[in-house]
Structure 1
Amino acid sequence: MAGFTQWNEIELPAAFDAHVHLRDGEMARLVTPTIRKGGADTVYVMPNLVPPVTTVQQCLEYKERLQKIEPNVEYHMSLYLHESITPEVIREAKKAGVTGVKSYPAGVTTNSSSGVLDYETFYPVFAEMEAQNMILNLHGEVPSTPPHAPTSSSNPTTAITILNAEPAFLPTLKNLHTRFPKLRIILEHCSTAAALEAVRACGPSVAGTITAHHLSLIIDDWAGDPFHFCKPVAKTPEDRDALLRAVVRSEGRFFLGTDSAPHPLGKKRGEDKVAAGVFTQPYSVGYVLDALAKGVERDVIKEEEVTKEVLEGFFSGWGRKFYEVSEKGERIVVKRGKETVVDVLRSEGVEVEVVPFRRGEETWSVEWK
């Protein structure tokens, strides 16, 4: 039987994307219809709107707006970890069908200014989440050291930058898992080999998501291209290759969470600061398959490791099992090199425009059975 790099088409279950940013308003109208184009029929939606989604009512109203835009997608919703979140809110959220709570360290990424400064403050919330079998989603970085902070022997602590912000967070993950061993925790968008090892060192109640773009990018790619800049930033070639190996060797500990993050074109190129986020949603399955093929070519992973069972698990089965989400029964057929990524995503009647990852390049097409 021909190996993965010789496959021209593959039939798979529809994907479960366990980490998407759909925004709101005009942007939601533009990007929400692209979920199915990318091969997914089920998504877990991030709550970092402006203002953030911190109440159950806000969460349910947001879900309703998304369903009106694209009713053929199953949306699982989250709350934004905030000082207003209490054990009582967690019980209300569970009763209303909210899936989890997303934690953002204050100020590290898009719309995170209301984020967490002290995790210990939320121990009662985490205890209730554990009791209610809800998921805690962690943006696993710590804020950077202020640029003018002293670095002399009087301040021996290692300075934090965007390059080591994820490794610096990993003791927090270990501590939370130790204190709440039955709390389902996801370390989102793992970008380093150290993060993968930290997840593996925990019990089965801890998993990690891997994005499509982190399977391809390294530091050099985003340093000169605003459309490759995200948080956490892509790291070294060794880190990228560790992520590729994790896809095929994780036995379910890691699964797809694209962190697809759309920004208006002007926010990525044309203002003083570049917004953090890579938009991958319309082509997510294809991007992952392309990255795996390049991993085989570079002998990072073996061709025989990229099995249909692995692809079904990473794209759908493993994430659904962790989230306790059933398949809808829909299937897709992906075909090699049959799609060209648009230069700019536009929609009639919508003023905002977004540039997708790898604009103008070929990738796999998605057809629904």
Structure 2
Amino acid sequence: MVQSVTLRRPDDFHLHLRDDAMLRTVLPYSVRQFGRAVVMPNLKPPVTTVAAARAYRERILQALPSGSTFEPLMTCYLCDGTDPAEISAGFEGHVFTAAKLYPAGATTHSEYGVTAIDKIAKVLDVMQKLGMPLLIHGESTDPGIDVFDKEAVFLDRTLKPLLEMFPALKVVLEHITTEQAANFVDADTSGRLAATITPQHLLFNRNAMFTGGLRPHYYCLPVLKREQDRTALRRVATSGSRSFFLGTDSAPHERGTKEAACGCAGIFSAPTALEAYLSVFDEEHALERFEAFASESGRLFYDLPPNEGTVTLTRERNDAPRSVALGDGKSIETFMGDGELSWRLVDHSST
């Protein structure tokens, strides 16, 4: 039995850092594991301009632990009125790494999002000419669609036509959750379509939200799906395919806003993310493919150089805390904390 795994320092291609005190609290957990992260722009107000992205990046850099080489990769929040010139200036000026499409009303802070693809057609045309990736929260917002079918419907009604309309556009279907999405991305041979997968969607199905009562800390969007979906995600994640890579979607919320009459969607996985992913590859007898998923496939899709340094994990009880203090008596619940994982990050060399 393998007792230790060392891999090139990985990247997180889908991360929520929030802002202010929350940013300062959660950032060190990602920095400890990852060399870079694609930072989501859904603040309030959202990051919609080059100036806002520069300012947010500076706040992140100011919050970094001393000596850190962590690089935040900034994204632009697309709105119906997004100016194509702003997108072009941000990408060519090395401020925007990608742009994020939130269907209006689909998830946390998506109320400013896109109401119809034709509203941003000029933006998408500019992006495909630039080679700038489009990151998509792929769920239908049609209120008549069952919550467990929103992703599959989005593939048919929105993603397929979008890919046909913009044949050179690079697209990442974020945090996929269904067998349909896994098969759709896996079948693509163009090299311009990829997907991120979260640790929670690999480890749990929707039963986790209801076992012994309503479990708000397993509630995220897109929601956990059926067991056949989880199995399909594990298959493609551990297959070695370059089309699938690590994106935690770590999304911290203060405990009180999760344990509420109308609780927030989001799982704070940053403290245990790499160990959680590795446990899946271990269970699937695919440890030799973990480095490709965590450290190679994403950076190749984004045309990024390999990170310097390595991380090492050993097979032992993980001592990550069950919760992280936020101050003023508030806290954030940690995904798979308090000894639930049997892998632990023990070394993270930056050179």
TM range, smaller chain: over 0.9
C-alpha contact 1:102 1:137 (8 A) present in aligned 2: yes
**TM-score (ref. length: structure 2):** 0.93
Flag as ranges the 4+ runs of structure 1 deviating above 3 A: 349-352
Corresponding residue number in structure 2 for 1:34: 29
Cα deviation per residue 1:298-352 (whole Å; 9 max; x = unaligned)? xxxxx2xx142x11110010000001111221101011124223111126x6765
Which of 309, 318, 343 does residue 322 from structure 2 map onto? 343
**Deviation of 1:250 (Å):** 4.8
C-alpha contact 1:27 1:352 (8 A) present in aligned 2: no
Corresponding residue number in structure 2 for 1:183: 169
C-alpha contact 1:26 1:351 (8 A) present in aligned 2: no
Structure 2 unaligned runs (5+)? Answer: none
Which of 66, 75, 81 does residue 84 from structure 1 map onto? 81
Structure 1 unaligned runs (5+)? Answer: 1-5, 146-158, 297-302
1:163 pairs with 2:148: yes
C-alpha contact 2:41 2:75 (8 A) present in aligned 1: yes
**Deviation of 1:353 (Å):** 1.9
1:119 pairs with 2:117: yes
In 2, the alpha carbon distance for the partners of 1:60 and 1:140 equals 27
Distance change (3 Å), C-alpha of 1:8 and 1:106: same
Corresponding residue number in structure 2 for 1:353: 331
Cα deviation per residue 1:103-160 (whole Å; 9 max; x = unaligned)? 1111121111111110111111000001111110000001151xxxxxxxxxxxxx31
In 2, the alpha carbon distance for the partners of 1:84 and 1:185 equals 20
In 1, the alpha carbon distance for the partners of 2:219 and 2:235 equals 23
Q: Aligned residue pairs: how many? A: 338
**Deviation of 1:293 (Å):** 3.2
The residue correspondences of 1:1-369 to structure 2 (distance < 5 A) are: 6-37=1-32, 39-70=33-64, 71-97=68-94, 98-145=96-143, 159-171=144-156, 172-202=158-188, 203-223=190-210, 224-269=214-259, 271-294=260-283, 296=284, 303=285, 306-308=286-288, 310-346=289-325, 352-363=330-341, 364-366=343-345, 367-369=347-349
C-alpha contact 1:222 1:228 (8 A) present in aligned 2: yes
In 2, the alpha carbon distance for the partners of 1:26 and 1:353 equals 12
In 2, the alpha carbon distance for the partners of 1:234 and 1:339 equals 24
| One-letter code aligned to 2:262 | K
**TM-score (ref. length: structure 1):** 0.88
C-alpha contact 1:29 1:350 (8 A) present in aligned 2: no
C-alpha contact 1:59 1:79 (8 A) present in aligned 2: yes
Distance change (3 Å), C-alpha of 1:352 and 1:50: farther
C-alpha contact 1:26 1:350 (8 A) present in aligned 2: no
In 1, the alpha carbon distance for the partners of 2:102 and 2:279 equals 30
Q: Secondary structure of 1:361's partner?
A: coil
Q: Secondary structure of 2:238's partner?
A: helix
| Identity across matched positions, percent | 33
In 2, the alpha carbon distance for the partners of 1:360 and 1:273 equals 26
C-alpha contact 2:196 2:246 (8 A) present in aligned 1: yes
C-alpha contact 1:9 1:336 (8 A) present in aligned 2: yes
C-alpha contact 2:133 2:170 (8 A) present in aligned 1: yes
In 2, the alpha carbon distance for the partners of 1:144 and 1:29 equals 36
